[in-house]
A and B are shown apart, each in its own frame.
Chain A
Amino acid sequence: MHNADYLEIDGRLGYVEVVGDGADTLLCVHTAGQSGVQYRNNMKGLAALGYRVIVVDLPGHGRSEPAVNGPVMDIPYYADWCKKVLDQLGSGRRYLLGCSIGGRIVLEMASRFSAELEAVVAMECPVTPATATRFRPPEDSSTPSVRDQTYYSNLALIGSDVPAETAEMIATMHCREDWHVTRSDLIGWGLHDLWQRLPDISCPTYVISGGDSFGEALRPTADRIPGALFESVKGIAHYPNQEMPNFVESFERWIEELRQANVSAQGGR
């Protein structure tokens, strides 16, 4: 089964894709400014592992309508929005997967809803005590050649083992964004104050970093989450699910390792 739908959430339509008929639910969350298209090469493979895979386009991203108040600068808002998606579509045990701000979003969800979650895999999302308090809102007049900036900056966020053709595809796909939304996401990242609440996460959690990106810098985030596992994947950078040809197999292993680790799953039935 591969179904697409628009859900009404907070007065606006949000786009979701649902793949697979598994008893358990896996919610996948994309990176800043992007959309669920980032999981296009993974969703069927993940579904084949036995999940009912839900891939969202966050408000203002991809095919989702913008939030009522425009571009969102609030990671907890996104977490609440994703929780509403889960409440409408989720079944069985609930798993979360997210990358970059998507990783922050699933950690934010885990910090508040661990009792409803079976496991979380958070990728490329370091959490630090310091958070921004001031920011400059997006203005077109101050930011020329945004597409070029997006293209080149994303090429720089791709690992050394990734074939040039794949890197080109990832960077080119990123250019579809509305940079006001992207910048707002990143402001939200900077304002997100999660460090003090990381110890509240009680569901099994795996923190993944790209060895050519944050690498070991993500370990303190994992260390602060009770029982969390950590892996830095060599040769990749900021987009593990787009850069790793064996991502589905790796995800399966991460979940298996969490099952075998001594962390009590909370469920979510």
Chain B
Amino acid sequence: MVSGTDFSPASDGALPRLLPAITQAPPARDAVMASVQWEQGARPKSVGVRVEGVVTRWKPARKRGRGRLHQDVRLLDADGQVVETARVAWDVPAASDGQDDESASRVAWDVGTVAWGKHLATRLASNEQFSSAVQTFDGTVGIRAGEELVEFRIYRGKVIEVGKKSLDGATFTLGGTERAWIDLLSSPKNDLVSRLGRNEFRSTGNNYQYLRIFKAIMLMIDEAQLAAAKEKPSA
């Protein structure tokens, strides 16, 4: 869900200017703010004129009776540059996320979860280019989105296991914020390389192996984008 509103800067210009706008427009009815991670943007001294909010994760309610929603909120200036940014977690009552039960069409956007990983692995199983690209790879690829991490154990051209953690850990991990993944999956083309250049994503671990099977990584993104295109963004 992407929302946008005009923004009237506070008269005193004090930082952070974004927080009042966040609390005044919660992303779901009866949502209660649980945490905020606030940062200055690329243009911290610029005048913010618009607030943009993107729901980046929706964890459905379970035993506690409340779900958890993650939101990326940005204060933008007239040029569309980021003045301030915040990652907000909200507690939401079950009634608010009724449309988002575990089986909902959200899994293709739920990057970093095991459900997402298994969904992607199913698609990769019939992707001959991917199989060829990892034919000589024996290792584990980690994908991290925010705090969520999923690992793909790969051997001789096949994903043989998907889980939160493989026995020997990931050979390398490609990670970005939840918002970075939403933006990548929403992009009309697979522009991971450009986004790596802008530090929206980074790899950790064995960089040699990361480079060696980079084609496979691109093919994983291709498949993830195709899956996401078939589903609406979460909420």
Contact = CB atoms under 8 A, between A and B. Distances in A.
| Chain B residues touching A, range | 10 to 19
B106 to A, nearest CB: 29
A247 B218 CA distance: 31
Nearest to A144: B212
A145 interface: yes
Interface string B188-229: 010101100100000000001001111100100000000000
B191 A156 contact: yes
B193 A144 contact: no
A196 interface: no
Contacts of B208: 142, 144
A156 B212 contact: no
A77 interface: no
Nearest to A145: B212
Contact of A145 (B189, B191, B197, B211): B211
Interface stretch (A146-154, A173-181, A203-211): A146-154
From DSSP, what is the main secondary structure of chain A's interface residues?
helix
Contact of A148 (B189, B194, B197, B214): B214
Interface in A129-166: 142-145, 148-149, 152-153, 155-156, 164
A127 B54 CA distance: 38
Candidate in A143, A148, A155 with the most chain B CB atoms within 10 angstroms: A148
B215 A153 contact: no
B170 to A, nearest CB: 18
B211 A144 contact: yes
A153 B191 CA distance: 10
Contact of B214 (A142, A145, A155, A156): A145
A143 B191 contact: no
A24 to B, nearest CB: 39
A8 to B, nearest CB: 39
B215 A145 contact: yes
Interface string A6-43: 00000000000000000000000000000000000000
B211 A149 contact: yes
Contacts of A148: 214-215
Contacts of B214: 145, 148-149, 152
Contacts of B189: 164
Contacts of B218: 152
A12 B61 CA distance: 73
Contacts of B215: 145, 148, 152
Nearest to A148: B215
B193 A155 contact: yes
Nearest to B218: A152
A150 to B, nearest CB: 11
A152 B197 CA distance: 12
Contacts of A155: 193
Nearest to B189: A164
A155 B191 CA distance: 9
A143 B194 contact: no
Contacts of A144: 208, 211-212
A149 B218 CA distance: 11
Nearest to B197: A156
A129 to B, nearest CB: 22
A143 B193 contact: no
B193 A156 contact: yes
11 contacts: A143-B211, A144-B211, A144-B212, A145-B211, A145-B212, A145-B213, A145-B214, A145-B215, A149-B211, A155-B193, A164-B189
Nearest 5 CB-CB pairings of A with B = A156-B193, A144-B212, A148-B215, A156-B194, A145-B212
